[in-house]
Amino acid sequence: MPKAPSPPPRATKPPKTKAPAKSCDCHFYIFGPPARYPLAAIRGYTPPPALVPQYRAMIDTLGIERMVIVHPSVYGTDNSCSLDAMAALGERCRMVAVIDSFVTDAQLKQMDAAGVRGARFNLISMGGPSRNALEAIARRVAPLGWHLQVYVEGKQLAELAPILEKLPVPVVVDHMGQIMTAWGPNNPSLRALRKLIDSGRGWVKLCGYRCSSAGPPYADVTPLARALIGSAAERCVWGSDWPHPNLNGAVPDDGTLLDLLSEWAPSDAIRHKILVENPAALYGFPA
């Protein structure tokens, strides 16, 4: 049985430091009206609607101008809701889809033209292809210039990173690799993730709370984030994870999450890389 609904989105506090021009939120979801976008029968959780106008209100508060919608596992490989949301948000939006071996070349080209720039593997929640399809799907999307985005349990990284490093496309690791801060700074998962980043093949999405062992205000995430930024600031991007689905405990405030980035990267130049330059390179936004 899917888990009970996650809390709905709430109003966002303005951040202390507004995002620079052309900043990008590289990870959010849209959950449309269930009557129009039915949820998959096999899924890990049941989200309430989280709609485009609500998301627009949040990013306007943060000062975010660009965005990347990530297709959620609760829809399986039916990308309709995310594609429609990307179309509604226009040229400033890109997308990461969920596909399987049944997708046709024509469908891939159609998604590419619409603004899809990657294919996601969620190896934690139910829905989508298994890890056995990594190489096959990487070969399918490589001619389009897409990347693979992977969401994995942190303890899988030591085994999985060498496989990811050999794929013919860049690999973006979700949520800082789900490496829990309680594991300490010298754990094998962090070493594996840093090696993947250092290879030049790996990217990482900085996310302010899912790796926290202490909970709000997530101060324990700072050493982990600084370690990853220190490995390769030019291959780090930031994502809000709005509307924070499938979460046990308090729903974080997105303004507070953006302010955490200022603690992780006090340099204006590094934050500009993470929020503006790196997303433009990875997702094909105008420079």
Tell me which of 1 and 80 has the higher pLDDT.
80
> Structure tokens of 58?
């949040």
Residue 209 lies in a domain: yes
For residue range 50-106, list pLDDT tens digits in order: 999 999 999 999 999 999 999 999 999 999 999 999 999 999 999 999 999 899 999
Residue 10 lies in a domain: no
CA distance 254 to 233: 22
Residue 203 lies in a domain: yes
Percent of the chain at pLDDT exceeding 70: 95
Q: Which residues are catalytic?
A: 241
Residue 157 lies in a domain: yes
Given this model, what pLDDT does residue 6 score?
A: 55
Q: What are phi and psi of 265, to 5 degrees?
A: -135, 85
Given this model, what pLDDT does residue 9 score?
A: 58
Percent of the chain at pLDDT exceeding 90: 81
**Residue 123, domain CATH:** 3.20.20.140
Q: Which domain holds residue 195?
A: 24-283
Residue 55 lies in a domain: yes
Given this model, what pLDDT does residue 125 score?
A: 74
Residue 19 lies in a domain: no
Q: How confident is the model at residue 2 (pLDDT cuts 50, 70, 90)?
A: low
Q: Are 62 and 105 in contact, with CB atoms under 8 Å apart?
A: no
CA distance 200 to 236: 12
What is the total count of domains within the chain?
1
